Each structure stands twice: as C-alpha cells, then as structure tokens.
Amino acid sequence: MRAGRANLLRIQNDLAGNAATELLRTDDPENLATGLGLVQGRYGGNLVQSKSRRNDLQSDRRPAMAQMLYQGHGSYRFVLDDGTVVYVDPFAGGGYDLPADLILVTHEHFDHNQVKKMPHAKGCDIFRAADLHPSKKSYLTIESHGVRVTAVQACNKNHPVDKCVGMVLELDGVKFYASGDTSTTDDMRSGKLAGFAIDYAVYPGDGFYNMGIEEASECAKLVGARHSIPVHLVPVDDPNDASKLFSREKAEAFTGPGRIILAPGETLELGKQ
C-alpha cells in the first residue's frame, strides 16, 4: 500500500512539473500565477526566484519604436517597428530607396508633393490635403497601415487655409505633429493641438514663406509637445534645386520645448521618454 501511494505521489509531482513548465511559458498573468503555485508545491521557492529573474529580463525588452529619418527641408520618413514605411512631404534629400506604404502630403507646393521619388509598395496609400480637408470646416481622421492621421489647420498668407493641412500622426504608440507649412493657427491658440498630448512636433521657420524662428518657438510653446524640431529653415524657389536643406544657425535659435535639432540625413528614435 505504501509503495502504491508513493508511486501515485511521484506521478502527481511529475504532472505538476509538466503543467508548470507549460504555464510558465505564457505571459498571461493568471497562468503565470498558477504555474508558480505548482512550482512552489513541487520545488519550494528556488524556481520562483528564477521566474522573477525572467520577469526582470522581460521588463528590459526594448519597446516598439518608430525611426524618423530627417531628409531635409520639410521632408522626412518614418520606418515603423513592423517595417511599415511612411513618407511625409517628399522632396528633399536622400532616403527614398524604401518602398512606401503610406505617403502624406500637407499641400501641393512642389517642395512637398514629390510622391514619385520613391518606389511604392503594393497597396501604397497616398493622402493629400484635399483628401483630409475636403471642405472649409471638415478636417478628417483616417487610418492606414497602422497609422492614424488627424488633419488640423495649417495656414498663412502664402498657404490658404482651405488648401493646406497639418497632421497629427499616431504611430508605434507616439503622437507626432506634422505641421506642414504654416504660421500660428487657431488650432494652436485654442488649445486644440495641446489637447492631443503630442510627443514630437516639427515647425517651419524659414521666415519667408512661413513664420520665422521666433514665432515658430512661440507656436511650439502653445502646442506643448514633449519634443520640438525646427524644419523648413531655408526658402526654396527652384523645383530642381533641393540643395539648400538646412540652417544650423536658425535651428539653434529655435527655443521650443524639448528642442531636438536634426540635420539632413540624421535619424531619431521616437520613444516615449
């Protein structure tokens, strides 16, 4: 009788060990708790400490994070964690080798709408200002390839409010304000943009077709993004000349909150820090 009981206990312990192994392979909290209980019942507390170390390793995993390539002028490219490629206002610089999944155009000036500069992936979507702002009071939100895009105002004396948009992009867990060509707008003054709790924002500051650096800095304070990036710092008149891409002097004069200066060709990881 004692031998039969011992064998039964051994079988139960083996089954508990196998079940614990399977449960500890999951990230479901209830299954993990059950698995740890089985481990404690069979082995005591030693393997619980090992599981704790596993949790520490999991907490160190790098989160999904989009990469922004600043191409110069008002042009930049995102590569999302899953490989999705998004271009905004293509015109300047390099980095047009990756096939586009999504192309966004804030307005139809030549230095923002060169949508044929890059190859297009199958199913590539192109959204222009007219698609997102079809009427005077209508600013739309769309989703494409895992990116949520909300149109907002963009305007000044050279950029009619009914022909241009800014965009708030939500990608890989961050919010990015693509201002387009603009000066101070009602959406900035009213607090609408601040209400998005934006992580990163770009602002033009050429002082010729758009606001200057001082006004761009004030707009950045109204929007209140965690990080602000000056772009579109040099006026471009020739559609065949994208060589004047950047002004270090103007960029350093920008005083928006959380300022980040990117030179053409530099890449930024868009994290939540």
Q: What does each of the 273 residues of the chain score in pLDDT, given as a tens digit?
A: 444 434 433 334 443 444 444 443 444 444 444 444 433 443 333 333 333 333 343 334 445 789 999 999 999 999 999 999 999 999 999 999 999 999 999 999 999 999 999 999 999 999 999 999 999 899 999 999 999 999 999 999 999 999 999 999 999 999 999 999 999 999 999 999 999 999 999 999 999 999 999 999 999 999 999 999 999 999 988 888 777 789 999 999 999 999 999 999 999 999 876
For residues 205 and 87, state if they share a domain. yes
CA-CA distance, 40 to 69, in Å (whole number)?
50
Say what the pTM is: 0.77
For residues 80 and 177, state if they share a domain. yes
Question: Tokens 């990015």, residue?
Answer: 176
Does residue 77 contact residue 87 with C-beta atoms inside 8 Å?
yes
CA-CA distance, 259 to 32, in Å (whole number)?
43
* CATH code, domain with 257: 3.60.15.10
For residues 157 and 247, state if they share a domain. yes
For residues 192 and 157, state if they share a domain. yes
Backbone angles phi and psi of 35, in degrees to 5? -60, -40
For residues 36 and 104, state if they share a domain. no
- Domain containing residue 88: 66-270
For residues 86 and 156, state if they share a domain. yes
Question: Tokens 């004396």, residue?
Answer: 157
At 63 the pLDDT is 54
Number of domains the chain is built from: 2
For residues 157 and 258, state if they share a domain. yes
Sign, CA torsion 248/216/156/195: positive
At 210 the pLDDT is 95
CA-CA distance, 137 to 121, in Å (whole number)?
33
Last residue of a domain, one of 59, 77, 102: 59
For residues 232 and 216, state if they share a domain. yes
Last residue of a domain, one of 44, 59, 74: 59
At 23 the pLDDT is 40
Does residue 272 contact residue 173 with C-beta atoms inside 8 Å?
yes
For residues 74 and 12, state if they share a domain. no
For residues 151 and 189, state if they share a domain. yes
For residues 180 and 229, state if they share a domain. yes
For residues 110 and 214, state if they share a domain. yes
Question: Tokens 């490629």, residue?
Answer: 85
Last residue of a domain, one of 59, 89, 105: 59
